[in-house]
Each structure stands twice: as C-alpha cells, then as structure tokens.
C-alpha cells in the first residue's frame, strides 16, 4: 500500500504540474503567473536580501539581523500552552479532521481494495505530506537569516509540529466517534484521553490563575514573564512538557536542536501510533467526511443552507430587480455564514454602541468613546472599500446558475442591476451604521474639528458610501460579464501562483476602473470646493458628494445597459477552470 500511495502522490503531482504548465498557454494564466512570481519576489525574496544584510548604525557599528528566536525563546511555554488549549478544544469543537477527508475517487478505488484500514490511514498521512512539507518550507523561507541552514532547521521543526497536530486532530475525530460506543470497555478507552487532556488543562489553568492572583502584573512584559514562570515549574511545567517539546526545535540551534528535534519527532510518532490504532471507527467517519467533501464541492464550496422561514414572500408582480433582491437576500439569510453575521455581529455592534454611549454620557471615560469612533470609522472604511470585494452575493456567485438565468425573459441590464442590489444595500447599510456611530462620538475623537466640519464630513461620507459601493459592484459584475474566466465560481478559491497573480491583477484592474468611475464626480466636487469653500466652508462638501453620487448613479445605469449584449453572448462552456 505504501508504494501505491507513493505512486498516486507522484502521478498526481506530475499531472497537476503538467496541467498548470499547460494552462500557461492561455494569456490569463500566463499573466497571472508573471504577476504572482513578481509579487512573490518583491514581497519575500527581495525582503530577505534586505534583512539578510547586517544593518549599519549611524555610528558605523554592525547590528546583526533581528530574528524571532529571541521572542520565541521566552515564548516557548506560551506556545506550549497554546498547543494544550488547541488539543483540548479539538475534543470540544465538532470539527472533523481533513486528514480523514478521502476524495470520491479514493473512496471508490481504495475502500473496496484488499487494503487494511490502518494502511488506508497511513496512505492519508503520506498523502498529506506534500501540503505539509510545502507549508513548512514556506514557513522556513520567512525566517530572516543569512544562510539557508537556519531556515531548513526551522522548516524541519515546524513540519514535525504540523504533522503532529494533523495526526492528533484525526485521532480525536476517530476517538470522538467511539465516545458513544455500545461497548463499555470501548467507551472507557475513548473517554480516557478526554479526561486526561481536560484534567491537564484544568491543572495548568489553576497554576496560571494562582500566578496572576498572587503576583500583580502591571504591564505586558510582567504578564509574559509571570506566565512563563508559572508554566515551566511544578505540575504545570510537567504537564506542558510534551507540548513545549514540540516547539523546542523552533527555538534552538546546534546540538540542542538535534536533541529537541528527536524528542519532538518521538511525540509525532506516538501520536501517529495512537491514530493508526484508533482505526475501528475509521470507515464510517471517513466515508461521512468524503460525502461532506463531495457535497461541498458540488455546491462550489458553499455551506449547507437551512430552510428557515424569513417572513418575506416574493410578491406576485413587480420589477425584475426586486426578484434578485429577494433571491440574494434569501441566499444570505439562509446561508449559515450569513445568518451568523446577523446573529453575532449585529448584537456585538449594538453592545459596543450602548457601552460607548454610557461611557460618553458619564463623561468619565471619554477615551472609550474616541476609540469607538475610530473603530466605527475603520468599519465604515472597510465596508465601503473592501465590502464589495468580500461579499460576492451577486453575478459573481450566480455565474454557476447562469444557465438558469439566461432562460429567464429578462433584460440583461435588469439582471445585472438586480444582482447587485442586495449586496449594495447591505454593504451601504453597514457603512451608514458605522458612519452614524462615528458621527455620534466624533466630538470625543476629533475635538479639534468644529461641529460644522464633523457634520459635513459625516453627511459627505453617507452620500459617498453608496457611490463607492455600487461603483465597485458595477466594476466587479462587469468583470464577471466581460471576463468570466477570471471569476472563480461560487466559493471556489483556486490555488497556484498563477491564480494568486490573477487575483492581484483583477484587484488592480478593479481599483483603476473604480478611480476612473469616480473621476467625473470627484472633478465636479473639486470644482465646487474651490468655488464655494471660502463662502460656506466645509458645508460645500455635502452638495459636492450629492452630485458625485448622482453622476455615479447615472454611470451605473448606463454601464449596466451597455453590458446587455455582452451578457447575451456570455458563455461559460468554453472556459477551462482550474482544478
């Protein structure tokens, strides 16, 4: 089975590489690859060239490059604690290890084959090494060092850590399935690690609490050293030993490194043995994982929706845009991720607003209100500038339903506008809420600005937010119509250097187009500012923004109309999608 595993891995790697090289014949992949390589070079390798050279002080002294080792050395016990928390959470959270997610072909070919369950587990462990080794090498590249040896040392250490975590999570997934086993003996065996890990977490938690209560910690450094001391001594130190041993290869060098690597590798082997011996529940768990994976793939990576009642029934008549508004709203509300947004983010925002308002009214903690104001400005900026990039419930997502949409008797312009409507209203709503919050608390954050300036800026932001949001959405949806091959279908996130480059090029294109889009409105606003600002001051920003919004609205209408013929010609059948 081991040779078969190697054969599958080698063939898959070779063919994947071949496909990726072959697709470079298409200009979009070639351009993407060039952009990706350039980005990688300038952000990673070029930076190493700089950090690799010793810095020279003004006095001419050489300063050795600053590495993370110093920080990591002191943070070893903290990292061990983080691993312990992770190990405990693995039992509490219902997540399933991806190590057990066999692909459909793997289930079809390997499960009926005369291969033992343990051999299948070993196969999955071997199969996962490609991604883990790649991740470890990338992590090693980021170690600022003048030679390659420290990077390789770090990569080997982090690889052992990655494998151990992966294997442990898979073991937890299998053991979790036996927690409710009919056999009492099997149940006891399954519950033992749960009790041990939770007990260990309890002991370490008690030691930390005691350290915190007995020795007051005034600043972050004291907290850091106090916790480190508590985590390296007594029972807590002993319990954390296996976890800190896993992190030791990342923090040491020389002969100490070799010893640390051997020790961490021993823990990795122990975890692997535990996994392969926990194979009783393996087939059911693996098949369930494979089915979930296939289901996710069929839905383009989207989460499984739930048929919750919304109280919003589509009216029997009305505009075509209204149909899409309703459809996309249902998609977001019924998507588990979408409802999470409403369920958690909205109460969180309301809580923060209420707390800040209370602080403001008490006038004892004006700083809190100022911080909240700045946070609100940040949220408004993020929603306006990046919201349309992140929230894709429009034609970008609906390209996978294009065959259905194209059979509908609707004007293409109405389809494109309708697809953008829900997204635009939602993001604008978030931005407006944030702007209003910022406006309410702006006196605390910007005391140097007059009331006129603050209110003018707030009104301007309220007017410009929909212009920027709908402007960007128009560019994104126009890209989906004109260059559908550049748009990933559904929630798919294709990998590869060329795909990363494509995303960068697309983002640059969107930003440039948006700048052109906003230019007429900005020019008119600028003219108004120079003509009237000396007479009415900051208030002139408001009519300028209103005119800008009007111009963008006309542009959106015109562009969606112009896109009509392109939408009619839109055909996804000839497009080669990345794997």
Q: In the bound complex, what is the minimum distance in angstroms from residue 317's beta carbon to another protein?
A: 7
What angle separates helix 412-440 from helix 320-334, to the nearest 10 degrees? 60
Residue closer to another protein (CB basis): 231 or 487: 487
Q: With binding defined as CB under 8 A, does residue 573 bind another protein?
A: yes
Residue closer to another protein (CB basis): 338 or 471: 338
Among 117, 187, 296, 299, binds another protein (CB under 8 A): 299
Q: In the bound complex, what is the minimum distance in angstroms from residue 241's beta carbon to another protein?
A: 47
Q: Residues 317 to 356: which contact another protein by CB under 8 A?
A: 317-318, 320, 323, 327, 330-331, 334-335
Among 117, 353, 406, 429, binds another protein (CB under 8 A): 406
Residue closer to another protein (CB basis): 316 or 451: 316
> Helix, strand, or coil here: 483?
coil
Q: With binding defined as CB under 8 A, does residue 495 bind another protein?
A: no
Taking contact as CB under 8 A, which single stretch among the options 246-254, 300-308, 368-376, 554-562 is the one that binds another protein? 300-308
- Tokens linked to 506: 């697309």
Q: Helix and strand tally (H, E) in the chain?
A: 25, 2
Q: Residues 531 to 570: which contact another protein by CB under 8 A?
A: 568-569
Q: In the bound complex, what is the minimum distance in angstroms from residue 487's beta carbon to another protein?
A: 18
Q: Residues 448 to 487: which contact another protein by CB under 8 A?
A: none
> Where is 55: in which H helix or E strand?
strand 55-56
What is the rounded distance in angstroms from the CA atom of residue 273 to the CA atom of residue 164?
Answer: 11
By 3-state DSSP, what share of the chain in percent is helix, strand and coil, each rounded to 5?
80, 0, 20
> Helix, strand, or coil here: 207?
helix
Q: In the bound complex, what is the minimum distance in angstroms from residue 426's beta carbon to another protein?
A: 15
Cβ–Cβ under 8 Å, residues 394 and 476:
yes
Q: For residue 477, which of 577, 549, 393, 404 has the smallest C-alpha distance?
A: 393
Q: In the bound complex, what is the minimum distance in angstroms from residue 107's beta carbon to another protein?
A: 19
Q: With binding defined as CB under 8 A, does residue 316 bind another protein?
A: yes
Q: With binding defined as CB under 8 A, does residue 304 bind another protein?
A: yes
Q: In the bound complex, what is the minimum distance in angstroms from residue 352's beta carbon to another protein?
A: 30
Q: Residues 385 to 404: which contact another protein by CB under 8 A?
A: 401-404
Q: In the bound complex, what is the minimum distance in angstroms from residue 412's beta carbon to another protein?
A: 9
Q: For residue 561, which of 423, 421, 411 has the smallest C-alpha distance?
A: 411
What is the rounded distance in angstroms from the CA atom of residue 326 to the CA atom of residue 314?
Answer: 7
Among 104, 222, 284, 576, binds another protein (CB under 8 A): 576
Contacts of 72 (CB under 8 A, 6+ apart): 79, 247, 250, 251
Handedness of CA 523, 528, 534, 536 (dihedral sign): negative
Taking contact as CB under 8 A, which single stretch among the options 51-59, 172-180, 312-320, 379-387 is the one that binds another protein? 312-320
Q: In the bound complex, what is the minimum distance in angstroms from residue 496's beta carbon to another protein?
A: 17
Q: With binding defined as CB under 8 A, does residue 410 bind another protein?
A: yes
Q: In the bound complex, what is the minimum distance in angstroms from residue 396's beta carbon to another protein?
A: 15
- Tokens linked to 12: 């898959």
Token pair 């937010």 is found at 465
Residue closer to another protein (CB basis): 164 or 560: 560
User: Helical H runs in 23-147?
Assistant: 27-40, 46-52, 69-92, 104-110, 117-127, 129-141
Residue closer to another protein (CB basis): 75 or 490: 490
Taking contact as CB under 8 A, which single stretch among the options 154-162, 214-222, 255-263, 310-318 is the one that binds another protein? 310-318
Among 7, 134, 408, 530, binds another protein (CB under 8 A): 408
- Tokens linked to 71: 């920080």
What is the rounded distance in angstroms from the CA atom of residue 138 to the CA atom of residue 301?
Answer: 26
What is the rounded distance in angstroms from the CA atom of residue 264 to the CA atom of residue 281?
Answer: 28
Number of residues near another protein (by CB under 8 A): 39
Contacts of 361 (CB under 8 A, 6+ apart): none
Q: With binding defined as CB under 8 A, does residue 26 bind another protein?
A: yes
Which residues of this chain interact with another protein, rule CB under 8 A?
23, 25-26, 295, 299, 302, 304-307, 313-318, 320, 323, 327, 330-331, 334-335, 401-404, 406-411, 568-569, 571, 573-574, 576
């Amino acid at each position: 089975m081991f040779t078969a595993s190697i054969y599958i891995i080698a063939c898959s790697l070779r063919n994947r590489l071949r496909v990726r090289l072959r697709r470079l014949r298409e200009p979009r992949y070639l351009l993407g690859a060039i952009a990706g390589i350039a980005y990688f070079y300038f952000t990673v390798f070029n930076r190493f060239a700089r950090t690799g050279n010793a810095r020279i002080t003004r006095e001419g002294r050489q300063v050795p490059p600053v590495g993370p080792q110093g920080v990591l050395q002191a943070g070893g016990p903290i990292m061990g604690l983080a691993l312990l928390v992770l190990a405990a959470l693995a039992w509490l959270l219902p997540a399933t290890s991806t190590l057990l997610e066999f692909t459909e072909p793997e289930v079809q070919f390997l499960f009926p084959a005369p291969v033992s369950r343990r051999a299948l587990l070993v196969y999955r462990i071997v199969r996962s090494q490609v991604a883990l080794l790649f991740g470890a090498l990338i992590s090693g590249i980021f170690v600022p060092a003048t030679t390659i040896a420290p990077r390789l040392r770090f990569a080997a250490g982090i690889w052992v850590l990655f494998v151990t975590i992966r294997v442990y999570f898979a073991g937890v997934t299998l053991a979790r399935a036996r927690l409710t086993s009919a056999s009492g003996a099997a149940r006891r065996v399954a519950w033992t690690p749960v009790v041990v890990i939770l007990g260990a977490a309890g002991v370490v938690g008690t030691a930390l609490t005691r350290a915190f209560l007995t020795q007051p910690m005034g600043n972050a450094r004291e907290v850091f050293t106090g916790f480190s001391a508590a985590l390296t001594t007594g029972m807590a130190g002993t319990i954390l030993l296996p976890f800190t041993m896993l992190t030791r290869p990342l923090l040491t060098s020389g002969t100490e490194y070799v010893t640390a690597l051997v020790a961490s590798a021993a823990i990795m082997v122990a975890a692997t043995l535990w996994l392969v011996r926990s194979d009783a529940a393996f087939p059911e768990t693996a098949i369930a994982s494979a089915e979930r994976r296939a289901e996710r793939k069929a839905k383009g990576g989207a989460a499984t929706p739930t048929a919750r009642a919304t109280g919003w029934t589509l009216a029997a008549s009305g505009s075509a845009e209204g149909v899409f508004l309703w459809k996309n709203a249902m998609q977001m509300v019924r998507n588990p991720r979408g409802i999470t947004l409403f369920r958690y983010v909205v109460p969180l925002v309301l809580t923060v607003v209420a707390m800040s308002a209370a602080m403001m009214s008490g006038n004892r903690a004006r700083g809190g209100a100022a911080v909240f104001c700045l946070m609100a400005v940040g949220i408004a900026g993020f929603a306006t500038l990046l919201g349309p990039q992140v929230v894709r419930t429009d034609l970008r997502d609906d390209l996978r339903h294009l065959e259905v949409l194209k059979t509908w008797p609707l004007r293409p312009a109405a389809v494109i506008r309708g697809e953008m409507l829900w997204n635009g209203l939602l993001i604008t709503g978030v931005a407006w809420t944030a702007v209003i919050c910022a406006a309410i608390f702006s006196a605390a954050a910007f005391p140097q600005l007059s009331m006129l300036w603050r209110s003018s800026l707030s009104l301007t932001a309220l007017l410009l937010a929909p212009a920027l949001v709908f402007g960007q959405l128009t560019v994104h949806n126009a890209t989906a119509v004109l260059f559908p091959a550049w748009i990933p279908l559904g929630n798919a996130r294709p990998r590869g250097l060329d795909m990363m480059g494509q995303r960068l090029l697309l983002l640059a294109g969107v930003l440039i187009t948006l700048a052109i889009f906003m230019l007429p409105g900005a020019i008119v606003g600028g003219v108004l500012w120079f003509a009237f600002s000396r007479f009415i001051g900051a208030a002139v920003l408001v009519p300028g923004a209103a005119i800008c919004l009007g111009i963008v609205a006309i542009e959106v209408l015109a562009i969606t109309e112009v896109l009509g013929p392109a939408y009619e010609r839109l055909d996804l059948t000839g497009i080669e999608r990345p794997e």
